Amino acid sequence: MISKQASNQKIVPPQGKDLPDTRFINRELSWLEFNERVLDQAADTTLPLLERVKFLAISSSNLDEFMMVRVGSLQMQYQRNSMVRDASGLTIGEQLLAVAHRCEVFADRQYRILSESLEPTLAEHKIRRIDLNNCNERCIEAAEKRFRNDVLAVISPQAIFEERPFPLLQGLGVHLCVRLKASQQNIADSESNSWEFAVIPLGRTVPRVVLMPSEREHSYLLLEDLIKHHIGDFFPGREVVECVAFRITRNADIELQEDAASDLMIGMEEVLESRRQSRVIRLEYSDDASDATLAFLSEKMQLRSQDLYPTAGPLDLSYLFTLHGLESFDALRDEAWPPQRVASVDPSETMFSSISRDDILLLHPYESFDPVVRLIEEAAIDPDVLAIKQVLYRTSRNSPIVAALKRAAKNGKYVSVIVELKARFDEARNIEWAREMEQAGVQVIYGIRGFKTHAKICIIVRREPQGIVRYMHFGTGNYNEVTAGLYGDVSLLTCNDELGSDASAFFNAVTGASQPQKLRHLDCAPTTLRQRIINLIDSETQRCIEGQKAEIYAKLNALVDTEVIDALYRASQAGVKIRLNIRGVCCLRPGVPGLSETIRVISIVDRFLEHARIFYFRHGGDSELFISSADWMPRNLDRRVEIMVPVDNPDCRQKLMNSLFTYFQDTCNCWEMQADGSYTRTKTEKQPVRSQELLYSHACQATEEVRQRSRTSFETHEPPEHK
């Protein structure tokens, strides 16, 4: 059964309720609440030590991207009109001040967790960061040797002169600012200036984490500490007064002005260059920096007080990812959860045979992403495959899918790929893939003017005895086999003819830049998806008003769109039971009397990043279930090409619903949102339930059942002519 369109009946929610002055949570502050939940994992002493270290590194990387994109965007908006208010009622200036305060408090907590908890516990387990000012002679000698051999010949200082422009420094790179006593000549020329400055970029050639020899423990230095200890060697004959580590963040919210770009690829390369030179929006520096050095850096980069972030520890905590990957410390990491093989995928037959037998739904990373890769690799060499059509938004560095697409084109298949060059922070990689595929004979389309193509879809057209058959993959995540082992996503593999007809019409509209046709079963942004979602919500509202049982369950990364939120508020006022699992930003206020009393919002933060979008509507008992590439945000519904796919196969539906409802049973890593935007961790006296562990257990159990069945059945080898 393919889902029908939702009802458009008039909705009349209860009247006369007092509503709060502000119905929405500020987006930026809600995101910072999410990153606080990530940081809480680093503080959780029940987790394995190196997993806590990893979560601290993740919180740091998350904050970097937030500053580059969201704060960068706010600062540009502030320059245009500082008094514009967002849906929560805050002006741009008020948002910037609130964000600066929250980030300052957040960073302080990060470094307290590092210095007071993680580093002492790491030292107890023989993982120790060395202080060269307080170590033995053998260690100092080893450090000096490492400096002479690996550092001094590679890294160079750059003197700063008043008459020359300040050097172009790399965003997010660690640098050293060196304050030198001025030479006698300069003092004579300008008695008011007794200092000179130089900058040392650390670059990426020399590893940030410098491993040191040790018999009984794993010792390491950070590169900046090693250089600071030997800083005089860079300035022979000069007096070094101060050496301070600092790091800058540049505005990355620079988009291509497509109307002015005659060539999209050249335009994107110009965007990358503009981002490299964009305005500095954050300066992190060692908190022992002198006023003179801080004033120098602030003046050169034209920074305000709210852009300055003193740190009480090492800059750029992403170096902790290196510690998480240390060998011989498996006991300090999570137990391995290898992805499981799916019962409906027989490795002895082709993916075409498996899919033609029945639809296949995969829950990643509990179940392997290999069937998706296999499908495309098999298509590349199958003589009956005529065409492959696919959207690539993000891929891995050594993508087997890209390799298969190039191989397919060389084998004479008609291969058409939409490569989204505007995928933020993956632009350079996607430009490289696009050029390589073009050289291999792939027809490459660079998306749609004015939109990002974010849909996750692959169509394989195959000639079979009964005619042309379309095999499809729809997903909630990217075609990246690496992140498929880390992100919670859903894949649907099907050869349903009705979905195939819609999928081809959708793809051809995108590649042909034509007017999108009305599809029967798929819904797409920016054309029908927003209204379809609101219709589905309103349909539940109407049923509840009429006395029927009504329920909405949704799993998303973010809920920001005010029209959708208002539809959910109407549904709640009518009495609809609404359960939302939103990993990150949520601008809806749950549990407000007269507004959202029936809405519960949870967030799961665990070892895997929750990334799937799943929507369930009770629909009078004839439930409607969807997966989608889109969150409920204006950017997804208005400015991106997205799809929402119905899941109608009975077995796939049951499996997907079970996974969706499992999250709401979580009592270990579940946070519940309060009306003020804060979150409280779910606690219970009952048997603890960890949703991700339960989902993995179910996947293992299904695999084991297949294995047991194979032991109790016999399969003969037949002569080739009998096959």
Catalytic residues: 454
CB 656 within 8 A of CB 647: yes
Annotate 378-418 with DSSP letters as a single string: HHHH-TTEEEEEEEES-B-TT-HHHHHHHHHHHTT-EEEEE
Rg (CA), the chain: 28
469 with 592: CB under 8 angstroms?
A: no
Is residue 606 classed as helix, strand or coil in its secondary structure? coil
Distance separating the N- and C-terminal Cα atoms of the chain: 34
**The tokens of 196 are what?**
């000179």
Q: How many CA atoms lie within 13 A of 684 on its CB side?
A: 14
Do residues 497 and 464 make contact, with C-beta atoms less than 8 angstroms apart?
no
SS3 for 247? strand
Q: At what angle do helices 27-43 and 49-66 cross, to 10 degrees?
A: 160
Instruction: Name the pairing type of β-strands 624-628 and 551-556.
Output: unpaired
What whole-number distance in Å separates Cα of residue 480 and Cα of residue 400? Answer: 9
Secondary structure of residue 319 in the 3-state scheme: helix
Q: Output the six-digit token pair for 637.
A: 């519904």
* Number of neighbouring beta carbons within 10 Å of residue 154: 11
Nearest of 596, 374, 629 to residue 493 by alpha carbon? 374
Nearest-5° Cα angle at 99, 95 to 100: 120
**577, burial (CB in 10 Å: exposed 0-12, middle 13-18, buried 19+):** middle
Whether the link from the prior residue into 314 is cis, omega within 30° of 0, is no
**Which CA distances in Å does 247 have to 152, 175, 240, 314?**
21, 6, 20, 11
In this structure, are residues 48 and 68 in contact, taking their beta carbons and an 8 Å threshold?
A: no
Evaluate whether 332 touches 126 at the Cβ level (below 8 Å).
no
Please state, as a whole number, how many other Cβ atoms lie within 10 Å of the Cβ of residue 234.
Answer: 19
Distances (CA, A) of 71 to 250, 251, 539: 10, 8, 38
